[in-house]
Amino acid sequence: MSEPAGLSPRNTTRGRPRTTGTDVCARCRRSAGKARARWPEGKVCGPCFTVATRTHGACPDCAQHRLLPGPPHPEGGPRCAECADIPHDFRCSRCGNEGESYRRGTCARCALRDDLTAMLLADPADPVAIGRLVDVLCKAERPESIITWKRSPTVQTLLAAISTGNTPLTHEGLDDHIQTAGRAVDHLRALLVHHGLLPYRDPYLARFEIWIEDKLRPLAPEVARPVEHFAKWHHLKRIRSTATPDAPARGPVHSAKQEITETAKFLQWLWDTHERTAATCTQQDVDEWRADGPTTRKQIRTFFVFARNTRLNTSVEVGHYTARTRPTLAQDQRLAWLRELLTGGSESRPYRVAGILLLLYAQPLVRVAALRTDAISIDPATAQTAIAFGARPVPVPAPFAELLLDHLKARPNLRTGVAESPWLFPGTRAGHHLHPNSIMDRLRSLGIQLTGARNRALDDLVTQMPPPLVADALGYSYQVAFLHANAAAEPWARYADISRQR
């Protein structure tokens, strides 16, 4: 090839340092400046050397699992140093792992451990805990990045405070440094949570706790007490037990705040107007409050369910109001949403598919999220796509079948270490499917009323098929299917209490 060097396609590659000099790297054929190493194939440039000293695997010649610094090989890939005749010992003099030597014959990981030991373990307040912290920092995928990170003065101050015990190794301890070392704190917290040294703490949940305290402060004690019980025992406890990295508490915290706010407004009004409390509140008080004012006032319902369950007040019944306004989506709205989700644009494909399953088949999101790929089948004779939610598969109509099959072929999050995920909606964590709350949040943020959409879909289905068939096909109990048959046919009664599960 007599291509002028300056026009070679390799030289147009971005992101690699250009070096000037007369040496040419035997691997990449670029001018190597000062060659990093001289190996049997010739001079090797810095970038190629770095790649070579980070490539591990089974050597195709000797079958040992070790560093493979050898040159690219047409058969089976690169070889280990011995099989490739590279006369260099890549072993760390401390731990024996093969790689690039970072400092005087030791690898970056061992160099990092030396530094951290000198910095944190000279006179630690709690040697066991600080020892674990050092272990966690040394586990970093790229120890070089922690070496750089810990050079920053803010990081050194933070780590020193932890070592001396002035800052306890807890979320609250780290919170004290947010003002002065925000990003360093975030990074350290993420590492500690990832390695199990601190429990997962949802960021929305942490702010929610502060919000509750702020909310209670201006309230009269007679009002504050029940609101506090409701906020902490009902909402906080429930959200704490369900928030995970895959299902952040954003949505649940949002609706909890609304219910707490409405409850506080009502109880403050009740105290100011009638000098009655949550315990002495009457049915008439609730009716009066809800007779006028905005529709958000209906959100005191959950509080009275809580009050009943905790025996704080068993005489007030808010349920039947909700029943009268059982949410359903108008049919034209449902069709508009189906069209929107089918033609796309507003959301990424997995969420569009999930939304359509809800709108077409009235599937609860808990079940949508947990669908397996084998729920989908194609009839070899008719080429009809079908999906199974219950005992028998139901047909998938044409425009949606195409979208569903496209999604099936190119599901996201397949790079999390599991080659063949069994889930139709694989989550970001290996082996898990998407959390229903994530789907719920995304669909809600589009403005789809989930309960209304599902009720509408189920009502329509039972007008097309006898309820027991619907129940079989869609995995509902007969009781629920018959209730929907009633709802579609006649005025609704007390539905909401039964269908509150999502």
Residues that bind Zn ion (CB under 5 A): 25, 27-28, 45, 48, 59, 61-62, 80, 83, 92, 94-95, 107, 110
Q: What is the dihedral of CA 389, 392, 395, 401, to 10 degrees?
A: 40
Q: In angstroms, rounded to a whole number, what is the distance separating the alpha carbons of residues 363 and 457?
A: 9
- Between 144 and 175, CB nearer to Zn ion: 144
Neighbouring CB atoms inside 10 A of 190's CB total 11
Please provide the size of the chain in residues.
502
Phi first, then psi: give them for residue 11, nearest 5 degrees: -75, -10
- DSSP label at residue 254: H
Tokens 């309960």, located at residue = 451
For Zn ion, give the closer residue by CB, 63 or 398.
63
Contacts within 8 Å (CB) and 24+ apart, 390-393: 390/471, 390/472, 390/473, 390/474, 390/475, 390/476, 391/472, 391/473, 391/475, 392/472, 392/473, 393/473
| Rounded least distance, CB 30 to Zn ion, Å | 6
Let me know: does 257 contact 208? Beta carbons within 8 Å.
yes
Residues 6+ apart with CB under 8 A from 471: 390, 477, 478, 480, 481
Q: How many CA atoms lie within 13 A of 282 on its CB side?
A: 6
Residue with Cβ nearer Zn ion (50 or 315): 50
* Closer Cβ to Zn ion, 61 or 246, answer by number: 61
Among 109, 189, 191, 116, residue whose Cα is nearest residue 150: 116
Question: Which is nearer to Zn ion, 136 or 323 (by Cβ)?
Answer: 136
CB of 159 to Zn ion, least distance (A): 22
Q: What are phi and psi of 380, to 5 degrees?
A: -65, -30
CB nearer to Zn ion: pick between 56 and 444? 56
Q: 16 vs 215, which CB is nearer to Zn ion? A: 16
Task: Give 89 or 186: the residue with its C-beta nearer to Zn ion.
Answer: 89
Kindly tell me the sign of the dihedral angle through the C-alpha atoms of 170, 175, 176, 178.
positive
- Alpha-carbon distance of 102 to 54, in angstroms, equals 13
* Nearest approach, Cβ of residue 29 and Zn ion (Å): 7
**CB of residue 342 to Zn ion, shortest distance in Å:** 50
Q: How far apart are CA 345 and CA 343, in angstroms?
A: 7
Cβ closest to Zn ion, residue 31 vs residue 277: 31
- The residue (of 58 and 219) whose beta carbon lies closer to Zn ion is 58
Neighbour tally for 448: CB within 10 Å: 20
Residue pair 276/458 in contact (Cβ under 8 Å)? The answer is no
Please answer whether residues 432 and 321 qualify as being in contact, where contact means their C-beta atoms are separated by less than 8 angstroms. no
Least distance between Zn ion and beta carbon 212 (Å): 49
6 CB-near residues (< 8 Å, 6+ apart): none
Task: Give the number of other Cβ atoms within 10 Å of residue 45's Cβ.
Answer: 26
**Cβ atoms of 359 and 341 closer than 8 Å:** yes
Could you tell me the smallest distance in angstroms from the CB atom of residue 11 to Zn ion? Answer: 12
Least separation in angstroms between residue 188's CB and Zn ion is 23
The residue among 36 and 334 lying less far from Zn ion, judged by its C-beta, is 36
Instruction: State in angstroms the smallest separation of the CB of 59 from Zn ion.
Output: 3
Of 45 and 300, CB closest to Zn ion? 45
CB of 52 to Zn ion, least distance (A): 9
Query: CA 88, 89, 91 angle in degrees (round to 5)?
Result: 150
CB of 359 to Zn ion, least distance (A): 55
CB of 22 to Zn ion, least distance (A): 14
Question: For the chain, percent helix, then strand, then coil, each to nearest 5?
Answer: 55, 5, 40
- For the bound state, the minimum distance from the C-beta of residue 6 to Zn ion, rounded and expressed in Å, comes to 17
Strands (E), 76-214: none
